[in-house]
Amino acid sequence: MTESNSRSFRDYVEEELDSFLQEQKISLGSEKDILKIDLHCHDKNSDNPSERLGRILGIPETWLKTEDLLTCLENSKTSALTITNHNNARSCWDLLDKGYDILPAAEFTCTLPGSGFSIHVLTYGFTPREEAKLNSLRTNLYRFLSYCREIDLLTIWAHPLYFYPNTFSPKAVEELEHMATLFSHFEVINGQRNSWQNLITKNWLDSFDEENIDRIAARNGVNIHNLNSNPYSTVMVGGSDDHMGLFAGSTGTYVHVDKLNEKLKSSSISEVVLQGLKNGNVAPYGFYTEENKMSITFLELFYMIVGNMKDPGLLRMLMHQGSRNEKLLGFFLTNGIGELRRHKFTMQFLKTFHNAIHGKGPDFWTQAFVKKTTRPLLSEIENIAKAKQKGTAVYVKETKDSLRTLFTQLSGQVISKGAANIRALNKNSDLEQFKLQDLLDKIELPANLRTIFGENPPGSNAASDLNINIGGLFDRLSFPALASFIIGGVNFTSTKVLHDNRPFLDHFARENNIQTPVKRMLWLTDTFNDKNGIAISLKNYHEVICRQNLPIDILVCHETLDSSDHLIVSKPIGTYPIPLYREQNVRIPDIMDIHEIFKAGNYDRVICSTELLMGAVGIYLKKCFNVEAYFFLHTDWLSFASTTLKLSQQNLKRLTRFSRMFYQNFDKLIALNSDHEKWLTSSKINVDPKKVTVTKHWLNSEFYSGEKKGGEKYINRLPNEKVLLFVGRISEEKGISDFPEILKIIREKCGPCKVVFVGSGPAKDKISLQLTNAVFIDWVEQKELASIYHMADFLIFPSRFDTFGRVVLEALSCGCPVAAYNEKGPADIIVDGISGILRKKKRELAEEVARILNDEHLHIRMRRDAVKRAGLFNRDNIIEDFLNSTGLEEALENTHEIISY
């Protein structure tokens, strides 16, 4: 089942959960006989983290003091207390010794025998001696539950759909069904799991009945009555799972107790609430989590780590059982935190922020001695402190808004400083002389540790080697850069944690016929309204997306465009010209803005059409939201680097390695020609052939065969004069330097030829000096361009760079044959000798063009066949293949009409 587009899936989930919680509370009856308890919260004694990275770094899950947790629970007006640390109840015993009335509890990690699956079991009401026994049994879930049944302990399956290992498979679904029959109490509302997971859990448990439970028990050969006193009961509870003392008590469980006041005369609150929980007359309540709430939690955790973490020891990290990537991440985190501690201003910012999220604004001295540029930041921090007093929902929302503002302001300061440095550089040197070659020569991390930390050991050449002084690098980082990195990093981490089991949840929901979001894709680009082939192609796709209302939105990072139907515009943080490509600007995307757009749009996949910054954003979204990511290759950057940038072979190999690292991040690559497909699947890039597909482009309705007038205003054609055309960017990578020699040979063979260039580019001045009689026409609208094609006898396309060559297809559709090199896009479009000419060398190409032009009948036939060939590039077929390639084939079933040209 999938949710329709009439309302957002996020709204649907929230409405369903709100309705469920309201119904549950109403079912309890009178509020005077209700106790309120958070059944799942932690303090500093959760000191053995379940996450392996935490164990590698030797850090606990939290440093939260017990008294601070109690204060948070008191502020949330809970009437009964418990603390559920991992595999121990030390905090409960300490509080009992101090005279507190607290329900002893712990969150035990238990393993299902023979499966490898581990789950968390909240257990209540045991003694210190029984705790030791429980810890000895938790490697076998059956024995653990049997013992709990024997001594009448309450067990609750914590966050049932988050387990270890959290992977989707038929086995995982069966094991979850099996474990569900072993419990009667389930934590349906967990404050640290995302709302959709909570709703799936609730709907899944609703589907169990006595018949299903007996069938599953029989399949697994387990006598569930020995493990569970009431296996046919489904009691749903809630807990905050709070570790930071920020949201404890905001999620929990209402427990109805008949004649509560009378029972409290003879029994403690902890005894009464335990019996009420066992009776099952309960209702979960509270604020379930989303990314914004988790971001606040991770900011507090980061502050705790920076303030409390000890050096874990390099040898200890190396010898740990964790993976290589986890150890590397641990190494960099350890060193990064150590360097961060040297930045006094950033540390003060973290402390001020820590105070704010606990409701305490910046003090007088902090406000009095900050720079003018920092005062707006303090204003936002003050807003966070004030929001703390307004309730959890308002606090989370307003903190999210302030974090967005803080990130934008800090990033803006970083970009402004960078722009000022570039302007200063431009005054002292010519940016046009900037050589990428020199930069690539120096991009390397030395293998020698002394070099990394700023020394030049014997044998190094400081003049030619890139001396990366890590300590010096951190020292030079500004406060805005560090602070924005921290906020952005926390935003990424919180979202990643919440979506870590997204593939499993999607699989599990579909397997159990539970509502899932509509498949939707966000298409990233930083070019849309520019004069290039990528922009034209994207506009064509956008037209079809709008007409068919496909589940795709195009997001363009642009400073002046406005959003429209299926087009989302994210304003860049900064825009700068590219010295080597003046027609295109570099636009610095606002990563948090795009992050929020992706989240709000409920997208479950992303595709990108441009490398560099937006390509990095695509990888960010993939990693952050745990979604599939595709890349549409429009450009051959290796050819560009070779022909235009004139890179050495060594640096071309280095660029190839960078390309391999980049493209291997994507789940599927969409190429525009078979040569590119072979390159991607070769040993150079080493992409699995199953992950590469080849597609084509189609044309607008302006390009069609038949008489098309209007070109005369651009081209004054003399009698018996042939017209040779070039359309595109006039630049080296387009093979423009080959044009004079090709033209010379054609003129020698067949007489007068008029040469027409349509476009502009950095080589225009050079070619105009070589071909003084050539006609130059700037960029024109598509309708006007079609009339020019109709006047031409041949399109000469000497590019070895183009992955497709849209102008080739445009020319063919207007009956203009094309002469091109037998490479990449043109080689897949042109049928040699039928719709045009394909050759490897320019002399061969020129001589064949001359031969065709000298044979009128052959030329007329080639014009006719060119139109036929262009007609094979059918838009509807291309769109269908594209939707299949990106997993959106279901959209085809919902398409009411496809209008063909």
Cα distances (Å, whole numbers) of residue 552 to 159, 378, 706:
33, 39, 35
DSSP-assigned states of every residue in 14-53: HHHHHHHHHHHHHHT--GGGEEEE-S-B--TT--S-SSHH
pTM for the complete prediction? 0.89
Would you call 797 exposed, middle or buried from its count of C-beta atoms within 10 A (0-12, 13-18, 19+)? buried
Contacting residues for 688 by C-beta, under 8 A, at least 6 apart: 681
Residue 543 token pair = 């037209």
Are 653 and 440 in contact by the 8 Å Cβ rule? The answer is no
| Closest to 525 (Cα-Cα) out of 543, 541, 506 | 541
DSSP 815: T
Paired residues of 797 in beta bridges: 820
Q: pLDDT higher for 218 or 366?
A: 218
pLDDT band at residue 365 under the 50/70/90 scheme: low
| Structure tokens given for 474 | 């951190």
104-144 pLDDT tens trace: 999 999 999 988 889 999 999 999 999 999 999 999 999 99
- Contacts of residue 131, Cβ cutoff 8 Å, sequence gap at least 6: 88, 89, 104, 106
> Is 570 a residue whose pLDDT tops 50?
yes
Q: What is the pLDDT of residues 195-245, one digit of tens each?
A: 999 999 999 999 999 999 999 999 999 999 999 989 999 999 999 999 999
Rg of the chain over Cα atoms, rounded to whole angstroms, equals 33
- pLDDT for position 30: 79
Per-residue confidence (pLDDT) for residue 897, from 0 to 100: 40
Q: How far apart are CA 371 and CA 390, in angstroms?
A: 30
Token pair of 596, please? Answer: 């929020």
Residue 703 has pLDDT above 80, yes or no: no
> pLDDT at position 341, please?
87
Q: Are 585 and 556 in contact (CB under 8 A)?
A: no
Query: Which residues, listed in sequence order, are joined to residue 564 by a DSSP beta bridge?
Result: 567
Backbone phi, psi, residue 404, to 5°? -60, -45
Residue 436 three-state SS:
helix
Instruction: Identify any residues that bridge with 613 across adjacent strands, giving them in sequence order.
Output: none
6-20, 361-375, 584-598, 678-692: segment of lowest average pLDDT: 361-375
Amino acid at 476: R
Residue 62, H or E segment: none
- Average pLDDT (282-304) is 87
Question: Cα separation of 780 and 756, whole Å?
Answer: 13
pLDDT interval class at 439 (50, 70, 90): low
Task: Give the helix/strand (H/E) hosting 491.
Answer: helix 479-498
Two tokens, residue 412: 């803006």
Segment 370-383 shows an average pLDDT of: 79
Residue 697 has pLDDT above 70, yes or no: yes
CB burial class (10 A; 0-12, 13-18, 19+) of residue 119? buried
Token pair of 671, please? Answer: 């190429």
- Top pLDDT among 675 and 371 is at 675
Please say whether the beta carbons of 639 and 800 come within 8 A: yes
Q: What is the pLDDT of residue 171?
A: 80
Read off the pLDDT of residues 725-745 as tens digits, 9 standing for 90 and up.
999 989 888 999 999 999 999
CA 322 to chain centre: 25
Band (pLDDT 50/70/90 cuts) for residue 173 is confident
339-352 pLDDT, tens digit each: 888 888 888 888 98
Helices (H) and strands (E) in the chain — how many of each? 38, 23
E strand segments, 299-394 = none
More confident residue, 513 or 85: 85
Helix, strand, or coil here: 229?
A: coil
Lowest mean pLDDT among 49-53, 99-103, 435-439: 435-439
Average pLDDT, the chain: 87
For 714, phi then psi, to 5°, come to -100, -35
How far apart CA 263 and CA 531 sit, in angstroms, is 79
- Asked if residue 165 has a cis previous peptide bond (ω within 30° of 0), the answer is yes
Instruction: Report residue 24 as tokens.
Output: 């549950």
Of residues 400 and 470, the one with the higher pLDDT is 400
Which residue blocks in 119-237 are alpha helix, DSSP H?
128-137, 141-150, 170-180, 195-206, 210-220
Region 447-460 average pLDDT: 55
| Furthest C-alpha separation in the chain | 114
pLDDT value at residue 480: 82
CB atoms within 10 A of CB 356: 24
Backbone angles phi, psi at 581, to 5 degrees: -150, 70
**In whole angstroms, what is the distance from residue 539 CA to residue 529 CA?**
8
Residues in the chain: 901
Span 627-641, average pLDDT? 89
Q: What confidence tier does 706 reach under pLDDT thresholds 50, 70, 90?
A: very low
Tell me what percent of the chain is helix, strand and coil, each rounded to the nearest 5: 50, 15, 35
Confidence of residue 582 (pLDDT cuts 50, 70, 90): low
CA dihedral 613→615→620→623, nearest 10 degrees, is: -160
Assess whether pLDDT exceeds 50 at residue 896. no
So what's the pLDDT on residue 895? 52
pLDDT band at 6 (very low <50, low <70, confident <90, very high): very low
What is the per-residue pLDDT across 499-558, written as a single tens digit (0 to 9) for each? Answer: 988 888 888 898 888 888 889 999 999 889 887 888 889 999 999 999 999 999 999 999
678: left (phi over 0), alpha (psi -120 to 50) or beta: alpha
Handedness of CA 283, 289, 293, 297 (dihedral sign): positive
> What pLDDT was estimated at residue 458?
58
Distance CA(687)–CA(664), nearest Å, equals 6
**CA proximity to 771, closest of 724, 717, 719:** 724
Question: Percent of the chain at pLDDT above 90?
Answer: 57
Of 76, 128, 418, whose CA–CA distance to 247 is shortest? 76
C-alpha span between 384 and 681 (Å, rounded) = 51
Average pLDDT score over residue span 652-659: 89
Contact 522, 603 (CB under 8 A): yes
pLDDT at 531: 78
